[in-house]
Structure 1
Amino acid sequence: MRILLTNDDGIHAPGLGVLERIARQLSDDIWIVAPAEEQSGAGHSLTLNRPVRLRQHDERRFSVSGTPTDSVTMALRKVMPEKPDLILSGVNRGANQGDDITYSGTVSAAIEGTLAGIRSIALSQIYAKGKGGDVSFDAAEQWGARALRPLLDMEFSERTLVNVNFPARPADEVEGIRVVRQGFHDYSRGTLVESVDPRGFPYFWFGLESVEHTPGHETDLEAGEDGFIAVTPLQLDLTHYPSLERLHERYRGDS
């Protein structure tokens, strides 16, 4: 099985090293193509206004001067001799749950793989508030292969991917694995930090404090809080089907 690894934290990120060790428990045919620098929050963006540069670090390890989407695109169109059987994106430093997945470069790399018809999985390690760069990947490291193995011979539905979040706990305190739906964050109270730089110009920083959310029953948010690994299937079709008929009625005279 040929596996492509990528991420949004960059080619030198600790989480990518964790992902490589996980992947090597599943296969010895591993390729890595990841952004040269951190691209957290890049979403599903594609570089169009400047050239993208490719750097080779060893036989099967490359970095790209662009986004996670660029990295997967370069891997499939330029780097790899054949398409991979599986794309793994991560392990991200921080959760990708609820509505945050729309910002996530980690999930977006898996989306790009899904668009190419390749089984794709995003993996993220939740960490406790205030940890900063001191993030433990213990849960992901010890549970990663176990969480992935049931997915390896599973046929994914067309245009779907799987999102996996590991809880902010030591591996021996993880409660298990839950298959759950996507949760919902309430960003209506998000903050904007405003200050002035040494030259006297104002700048703004988006606050990263806790956001109120409504976990509901068995969502990825609730699973993480309860100490479970959250496994969530995601679909690329954003159509809201219940609204189709109502919209048809609204535009009936113009159709």
Structure 2
Amino acid sequence: MRKHILVSNDDGINAEGIYALVVELKKIADVTVVAPEKQMSAVGHAITVQYPLRVNPFYKNGEFFGYAVDGTPADAVKLAVKALLRDKKIDLLISGINHGMNTSINIIYSGTVSAATEGTILGIPSFAISLATYEPNPDFSFAAKFAAKLAQFIFRNGIPSGTLLNVNVPPVPESEIKGVLITRQGKAFWDDWFDLRKDPNGREYYWLTGKFVNYEHEDINSDHTAVQNNYISITPIHFDLTDYEAIGKLKKSGLEEIFKFD
């Protein structure tokens, strides 16, 4: 019996990355696409609670492609699992292929990763996959092939419960890929600033910009450094944000005592 894969993203249902992914996945499984109707990068794990969500069939090249949701990536996954596909078994959720890296601090902001996180929360084995380039018109073909290969691996071996895989593929030809590394989330970050500009009517506005700073160039076990060295980075992540080491330190500090009354 063929497996069933749910596909979503944050670049929008008409993005080239999701199309390349779906074409490749259909060779190995049944695929349902439920994705945001428009670009939703960097929305994180936001969900819509104050407005209704609308769903429309989306056609590409004259054929039905999937369902477009006027919400966030997490909305799309939640709606797919709880409503659109509630009577169907989903064996795997894949989010991507994102146009741009999702390493280090980007994981927190990423709608791509959040779609996979929502799948994990709902009990579905999930992974997010990104092509680590911001150049226009990138070639998603190798990343799509790798996603299909990883899907087959997961069908055979599974993923630890409560964990999703965050995959980043270097934007180089397949012949230059050195291999796959299981990595940790790196500590690279955005050094942000806001440019103050004026629109054609002379009104001021701010535009967020910045540069990505990676000070772990020698640590190949960091996701960003691994990708920079032409390795496919696979980082297992989960949604428990507790700092367990800090619990003991805070207990010893007497913090719990300051709210005790005589």
TM norm structure 1: 0.91
8 A contact 1:41–1:104 mirrored in 2: yes
Match of 1:87 in 2: 93
Return the offset for 1:209: 3.6
Match of 1:73 in 2: 78
Query: Matches of 2:65 and 2:141 in 1, distance apart?
Result: 26
SS in 2 for 1:98: coil
How do 1:233-248 residues align onto structure 2 when only pairs under 5 Å count? 233-248=236-251
Query: Matches of 2:48 and 2:81 in 1, distance apart?
Result: 16
Q: Share of identical aligned residues, percent? A: 33
Q: Which range moves more in the overlay, 30-39 or 137-146?
A: 137-146
Query: Matches of 1:226 and 1:181 in 2, distance apart?
Result: 15
Query: Matches of 1:25 and 1:219 in 2, distance apart?
Result: 32
8 A contact 2:125–2:159 mirrored in 1: yes
Q: Deviations over 1:131-173 (max 9, x none)?
A: 2x32222431343323333222223222110011110102222
SS in 2 for 1:146: helix
Return the offset for 1:208: 5.0
Return the offset for 1:25: 3.0
One-letter code of the match for 1:65?
D
How do 1:104-143 residues align onto structure 2 when only pairs under 5 Å count? 104-127=110-133, 131=135, 133-143=136-146
Return the offset for 1:67: 0.3
One-letter code of the match for 1:96?
N
One-letter code of the match for 1:66?
G
Query: Matches of 2:215 and 2:50 in 1, distance apart?
Result: 37
Q: Deviations over 1:68-112 (max 9, x none)?
A: 011001101221132411000000000000110000000000000
Query: Matches of 1:136 and 1:114 in 2, distance apart?
Result: 28
Change in 2 beyond 3 A, CA 1:75/1:95:
same
One-letter code of the match for 1:135?
P
The question of 1:39 aligning with 2:45 is answered no
**Structure 2 stretches of 5 or more lacking a match?**
none
SS in 2 for 1:55: strand
Residue-pair matches, total: 250
8 A contact 1:35–1:64 mirrored in 2: yes
Query: Matches of 2:213 and 2:115 in 1, distance apart?
Result: 25
Match of 1:97 among 91, 97, 103: 103
Return the offset for 1:252: 4.0
Query: Matches of 1:141 and 1:172 in 2, distance apart?
Result: 15
Return the offset for 1:60: 6.7
Query: Matches of 1:225 and 1:117 in 2, distance apart?
Result: 32
Change in 2 beyond 3 A, CA 1:116/1:212:
same
One-letter code of the match for 1:110?
A
Match of 2:202 among 197, 200, 203: 200
Query: Matches of 1:125 and 1:18 in 2, distance apart?
Result: 12
